[in-house]
Structure 1
Amino acid sequence: MLKRFALILAAASLTLTQPANAQQTQSSRNVMVVFDGSGSMWGQIEGRAKIEIARDVLSSVLGETTSNMTIGMIAYGHRKKGQCSDIETVVAPGPAASTVPEMIARANAIKPKGKTPLSDAVRKAAESLRYTENEATVVLVTDGIETCNADPCALATELEESGVDFTTHVVGFGLSKDEGRQVACLAANTGGKFISADDADELKAALDETLSDFEEEPEIDQAVLPRNVQLTLRDTSNSEMLTKRHLEVTPDDSNAQPWPSDFQLSYESAPSSAEGRFLPGTYAISVRRAGTGRAEEYTAPLTFTVEPGEGVQVIDIAMAARLKVNAFIRAGLPYDPKNPPAGGVKNSAYLYVALYPVENDVVSEQPVIIEEGGFEIGVPPGRYLLRGTMDRTTTREREIDVDAGGLTEIDFDMDLSTVTLVAQQDGQATDRQTTYFYDKPPAGRNYWRGGFGSTENPFYLPAGQWAVNLGREGGGKRRSEILLEVPATASAINLAVPEGQTLSEADLSALTAPSYRPCKAYVGVRHTGCLVPFADQQSDGKEQAKSEPDTLENKPRAMSTFADFQGFWARIGNREGVDPDQLAQLCTSTPLAILQDGRMIDLRRSAEGFIQKDQRACVPHESGEFDCKPEGAALLISLVPDAPNPQLCLGGPDGRSGSRLCARMQRCDADAFAGLDQSARDALEAAPR
């Protein structure tokens, strides 16, 4: 590598060793050497200080110059520490016969000390040669990059544009590849050469070679030279070019190459969305696409590669794809947001659909969009979760893949039956009807959705078995409890329910069977609903194949049902967790039991064993929490389903918007659970249902 270093010095100082009739005459060369005297030149290469190697090289090369060359030398960083103004013309430009001996002597006297103001030093060298009037060549010898808040690339462009025939050659002495890229533009932007030098042996070989053949052009390493790049960004492959009006570009901090200082976004009149001079390599950026409406706004992570070479590289990237979602209540019954159907929970049954990014099997908490019904949107290609909630009752989810460059159209069919339930009393449809739906045996307020219902206001339910309590509000025993069977093929169902119906033993057995769990979670869009997988996502008791991830039921999510909470818990305050000894003590003295049927029972150890302190019935709230309240008491405790440690918080719906007093819970492990003797089970069995 150092032979290329020697080649630059030879090119700068041995021009007049060529014959007088050579294509390039000696008298045409006016040269200033910029010599690095910064403190880092004390660094060593193969046991020798870089300053010593540089002195020897400079002395050897300059000793071969002829007397009719105009040459001088500037040094920097050699007099003061920490001073960017430490730049000195140590030898003014003049005939080589008189200046070369002085240059060698002054170079030998330099003691490295300070900073690296290489940009200002090159400017001073150019001005000393009157570069705006004469041909001028500057040879920069440096072992470091600019350290004085200047832009060498911008300087090179300025000198090239204002000079008559100005050239800078750069010798990078012991620079890393990345450091070399940062100073290479001084040579590239002025038509010069950047050469990297690594050791003294290569330097000697280079001198022997270049002194005998000056006309040979050294090979330029295009990998360290920047090139012009025109970057065009589009939504999709066939859409219009996006401009400065639509885009914000942020380079990633992980990029190995420096981001070009001349990068700029363009307006419509330009040939590309942006342009700049990039060093070869791969760049990662984040592009925010701003639009006139939320359906056009997104942020896309992108990468592009700049290849080594000359000329302009054109890069055209389609950032996004188009996704169109058509929303259906069931097959053949599209949802019309301009005319929503009547509903049994509220007067109108709204269908809200949200789109969530999925990365590494983790669903983002922030939706890309929430719309009533279907939508069309530009999004980055990738995997997404579609979630829809109908009439605050039923939630469906499906994962989809959005392909790059084109339109992906999805029919999101909620596959719901329209169920009209009419409670009868004295053989007639009752007034003031209320209706409640359960995914477990009915017990007080453990329903998952309630409403009124009538011949004019149906409910929207998925296939399966559902316990229903309905009748006249305040009707007592004249109300009915039935097991409603919604068929697999969604349709319109009309059912008149006589008063006083009760669930049979077979019905109760079906509702308590281990395999019965129709509501996989209580989640939703805008409002909480019972999450029910589509028919093609049911596992029939078998674990779903990971190669077919159409639903997120096999992925971690926050605790959502009492089946998730069932077991014994210790209250641990504000701590994230406690050690096993503390956990065992809490679990064997004041455990909290949560049962699948929706009961929360507070246990205390006494001399006789565990006794029940109080009991609460918990019901889901549309916020995703569970409201737990003892019968006949006003104090409400909310169960907040944060995984892995849920919280108990004082205050319910009215207190959720403000600050609440909360305590975390930790599940009693197997060892702690073993400490709960039979008296704990007896206390649970004795608890009224």
Structure 2
Amino acid sequence: MFKQFVAACLAVLCLALPARSQDRSMIVLDGSGSMWGQIDGVAKITIARDTLRDVLAAVPEGNELGLMVYGHRRKGDCADIELAVPAGRGTAGAISDFAAGLKPKGKTPLSAAVKQAAEQMRYTEDKATVILVTDGLETCDADPCALGAMLEETGVDFTAHVVGFGLTAEEGAQVSCLAEETGGRYIEASNAATLGEALTQTVVAVAEPAPVPEAAPQPAPEPEPAITVNLKAHATLSEGGPAYDEKKLRWELTPVDANDKPVGRRAAETYNAAFEADVPAGRYLLFTRFGGVIRERIVELNRDALSEIVVNMDAGLLTLVPKRAADQEGADKAVQVKARNGDVEQAGYGESTFLMPAGDLSLLARHAAAEVTETVTLAAGQSLRHEMIVSTGVVLPHALYSEAGPAIEDNSVNFRYVPAEKPISGKRRQIGANYGSNRYNLPAGDYQVLARLGSVDVEGPLFTVHPNQLTEVTVNLDAGVLHVSAPGGYQIRLLTKDMMTGKERQINAQYGEEFQRVVPAGTYIVDVRYKIDKADVQQQVSVKAGTREEVTVE
């Protein structure tokens, strides 16, 4: 049963797209470890492979289709995303072959995978469609809802459809917004029996058009009915306010029983600013949603009379403008913003506009390790623009072997950033860290940089990070490189000797005949051990800062 459902979902999404050269679609397939889970005794990955093969065989030749897969190569890696087959015509065989070899094992970075798929199809320039097939929720600290809003805002004509592999209704609600934000469809496994049959019929109708019947005599025109629809509805943001002209409003009309509980299939549904329907007489649940704002009401409809209904969303439009400094021009796209009112939460990056329920809103802006929380009051029908300042700047670290150089230009140096002031315990909490001379975002404030390379671990200078500014800091490691060659040696140890006690302390050790290490400038003892019947050999060596010292011990 589930296999029929997935087949129908993929088919309708692939085949229902017009086969024009400028229309391109990308399937994003879940290859995470949970795909080994079973449905009716069959692994989900097996269902996916078989279904893809069957559905792709019926894809019209003019359709351009590609495949993006995630979580199939490495465990625990949120960057495990692969463009398996670029979008193009005649790719059905290549997609089927790649899917046949999938071995699920990793995480579920579904948001990053959908974003990469959109970028592969140049969604900011051309019309593009992404079909996400997933059996799990996002596991890589990303927000599918915010991604959907961003893709819709920046895309030319972008649509994302989401197919849920065995997700519960609660789980489905966490990913359905990706489709809803872009005007796409979310299809749940819970409706497999009836929805699968309906979608299969739709696919057959699209893939195999019925032959044109022979012309028949035209009957005499009948009188037009008195009404063509018996329901018209629109939404407002406040009582008595103007119609809310938002074409992505979600409308659903579902029959209800004597207890006003939904029964059966939806009688009508659409995305549009206004809603019209022609349905049998009876009681219905009218559902209206945009973003996280949902309104429901029971309506009584007559077959021969028009009911006109106004839905008050009791909401307002909130625009958050995050900045890293008060004098920064425009919003900063790297800053994440969130707004919450009760169970309704919206999130995005950079300047973001949300429809939120009227009332007191909790706001959050986050960048790097800094975050700011505020509270504002939003009235029904109000459009509120609000700036949030997250004071962060950028540090660019550098490392030198000595004051005279040379500089360390690769990414081998580990830089850590701690508060400049030490607490009474002497232990400071690390605020951030990175490798190499690369820019790193930090909250504005006073810091000290620590640097580690090889056996060298030093405290660098104090520095200050200013909001939305770049600060460069240089650390002198006061170190050099020691290379030891010991022909026939089994183990090479590097020791220091306490001048007061005469005790030796091991700095580092390495098995084999070669040893190389970055060490602080100073004098050391090289201790070589042999497997053969030969006594250990010790040799003193001095290392100068900024130089390479090579010694041979025999």
Q: Same fold (TM over 0.5)?
A: no
* Higher strand proportion: 2
Q: When the two structures are superposed, what TM-score results if normalisation uses the length of structure 2?
A: 0.39
| Max Rg structure | 1
* Higher helix proportion: 1
Q: When the two structures are superposed, what TM-score results if normalisation uses the length of structure 1?
A: 0.32
